[in-house]
């Protein structure tokens, strides 16, 4: 038999153990749905930090652009330059704090929008821009209640005016971040919005010209159109998840991620067998166990040990014992059809059944964001269209 092509070898290897399946069509769909929600006069900034919340930032950005995204946001320069290298030409806002000359030069070189929180920081960017004889657009961040990045909102208007006077910087945007937009009680969001409005009023009519004002994350975008201003910054909703239970159902979002893994070994053990490290779990009957090739080093939280399950052909099978670094064990006693090489679904759809990131996050006392961006680089990111759910690993000729 002929040696398989390197592409085919890679394809087969990527599906031999465990992988993240990304449905780019779902991301495009979600972007369209969000676009409809905000209307034609509001811009949509797709937040693709942390490798697109674990979905792959390049694939996510291209899919969001196809659905009508106008701009992108990331946390770091490495992420921003990565988008440029993957062919994305749209505006890219860096949400993290940049303050060094070399970082400012990278913003100029790659046409990236820095977030400005202080005048000292603005002076660094101004020095670099004037050296280059350029005018660098920036976005000023106001701290209206997050107490993280941003200038205290009381000083926001003065900071914007001081930056404008520097000459080689142009304040293109003014933004703030909401601390509890997903809360049922809108009190804090209302206070933050009032502070944001106060600064905008102090800046006066249209000063600076064509100012882009933005405040809303996914929750605010979904919950309240009056929070949209000139642009919204959406992350979680783009990937198909509601930021809170009470916001689910507002928009027909489609989850874009599935996490799947292979069953590698089956064994039958007697009742009373202790399973995995420390024997936290003992079988109560003669049991058929299946070892699945995925573990906490892949991003399955160890806290989910004996509190999760997997799907196979629409059935739910419980996970038992401690989740280990590279494997976990499921109880397949009631599923004699499960065979070595079978694909099980840890997260996402399998037929009509589904497991959501929120089910995981509630079981281990965290939030869906943490689950999605917790999947490690060991898991290949594969396009959903090219990844058959069932079937054995193909044989390869090396
Ligand atoms: C991450 C982030 C967002 C996106 O938040 P979601 O809740 O995922 O929509 C928006 N704005 C800022 C400043 C962020 O850091």
Instruction: Assess contact for 74 and 397: CB atoms under 8 A.
Output: no
pLDDT averaged per 10 residues in sequence order, the chain, 398 residues: 74 92 98 98 98 98 98 98 98 98 98 98 98 97 97 98 96 98 96 98 81 97 97 98 96 98 98 98 98 98 98 97 98 97 97 96 97 98 70 52
**Per-residue pLDDT at 386:** 58
**Per-residue pLDDT at 201:** 95
**Per-residue pLDDT at 308:** 98
Residue 302, classed as helix, strand or coil, is: helix
Residue 384, classed as helix, strand or coil, is: helix
Residue 277, classed as helix, strand or coil, is: helix
**Per-residue pLDDT at 84:** 98
Please report which helix (H) or strand (E) contains residue 314, including its range.
Answer: none
Distance 90 CA to ligand 1 centre (A): 18
Q: 95 CB less than 6 Å from ligand 1?
A: yes
Distance 222 CA to ligand 1 centre (A): 13
Q: Residue written as tokens 């201003």? A: 229
Please report which helix (H) or strand (E) contains residue 259, including its range.
Answer: strand 257-269
Instruction: Assess contact for 299 and 376: CB atoms under 8 A.
Output: yes
For residue 243, the ligand 1 atom closest to its alpha carbon is 7
Q: Which residue is closest in CA terms to ligand 1's atom 13?
A: 177
Nearest in space to 197 (alpha carbons), one of 142, 251, 237? 142
For residue 236, the ligand 1 atom closest to its alpha carbon is 8
Residue 346, classed as helix, strand or coil, is: strand
Helices then strands, each counted (H, E), the chain:
12, 20
Rounded distance between C-alpha atoms, residue 64 and residue 44, angstroms? 10
Q: Which residue is closest in CA terms to ligand 1's atom 12?
A: 177
DSSP one-letter code for 235: S
Q: 233 CB less than 6 Å from ligand 1?
A: yes
Q: Which residue is closest in CA terms to ligand 1's atom 6?
A: 235
Whether the link from the prior residue into 167 is cis, omega within 30° of 0, is: no
What residues are annotated to the active site? 49, 277
What is the pTM assigned to this prediction?
Answer: 0.95
Distance 217 CA to ligand 1 centre (A): 5
Q: 372 CB less than 6 Å from ligand 1?
A: no
Q: Which residues contact residue 259 at a Cβ distance below 8 angstroms, ignoring those fewer than 6 apart?
A: 18, 19, 20, 21, 294, 299, 300, 345, 346, 347, 348, 375, 379
* Burial of 175 per CB tally in 10 Å (0-12, 13-18, 19+): buried
């Amino acid at each position: 038999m002929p040696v398989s092509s390197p592409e085919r070898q890679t394809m087969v290897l990527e599906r031999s153990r465990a992988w993240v399946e990304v449905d780019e069509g779902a991301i495009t769909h979600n972007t369209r749905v969000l676009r409809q929600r905000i209307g034609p006069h509001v811009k949509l900034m797709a937040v693709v930090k942390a490798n697109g919340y674990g979905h792959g930032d390049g694939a996510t950005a291209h899919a969001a652009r196809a659905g009508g995204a106008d701009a992108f946001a990331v946390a770091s320069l490495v992420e921003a330059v990565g988008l440029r290298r993957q062919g994305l030409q749209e505006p890219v806002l860096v949400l993290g704090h940049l303050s060094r000359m070399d970082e400012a030069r990278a913003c100029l070189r790659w046409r990236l929008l820095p977030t400005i929180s202080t005048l000292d920081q603005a002076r660094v960017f101004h020095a670099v821009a004037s050296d280059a004889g350029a005018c660098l657009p920036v976005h000023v961040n106001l701290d209206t209640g997050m107490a993280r990045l941003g200038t205290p909102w009381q000083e926001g208007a003065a900071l914007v005016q001081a930056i404008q006077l520097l000459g080689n910087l142009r304040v293109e945007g003014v933004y703030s971040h909401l601390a509890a937009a997903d809360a049922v009680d809108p009190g804090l969001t209302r206070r933050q919005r009032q502070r944001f409005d106060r600064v905008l009023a102090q800046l006066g009519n249209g000063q600076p010209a064509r100012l882009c004002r933005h405040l809303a994350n996914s929750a605010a975008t979904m919950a309240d159109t009056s929070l949209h201003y000139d642009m919204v910054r959406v992350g979680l909703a783009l990937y198909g998840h509601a930021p809170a239970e009470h916001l689910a159902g507002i928009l027909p979002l489609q989850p874009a991620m599935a996490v799947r893994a292979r069953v590698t070994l089956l064994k039958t053990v007697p009742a009373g067998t202790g399973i995995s490290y420390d024997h936290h779990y003992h079988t109560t009957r003669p049991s058929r166990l299946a070892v699945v090739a995925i573990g906490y080093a892949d991003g399955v939280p160890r806290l989910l040990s004996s509190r999760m399950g997997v799907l196979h052909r629409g059935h739910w099978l419980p996970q038992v014992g401690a989740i280990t670094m590279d494997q976990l064990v499921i109880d397949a006693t009631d599923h004699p059809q499960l065979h070595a090489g079978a694909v099980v679904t840890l997260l996402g759809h399998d037929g009509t059944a589904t497991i959501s990131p929120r089910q995981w996050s509630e079981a281990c006392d965290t939030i869906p964001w943490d689950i999605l961006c917790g999947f490690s680089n060991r898991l290949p990111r594969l396009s959903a269209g090219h990844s058959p759910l069932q079937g054995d690993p193909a044989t390869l000729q090396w």
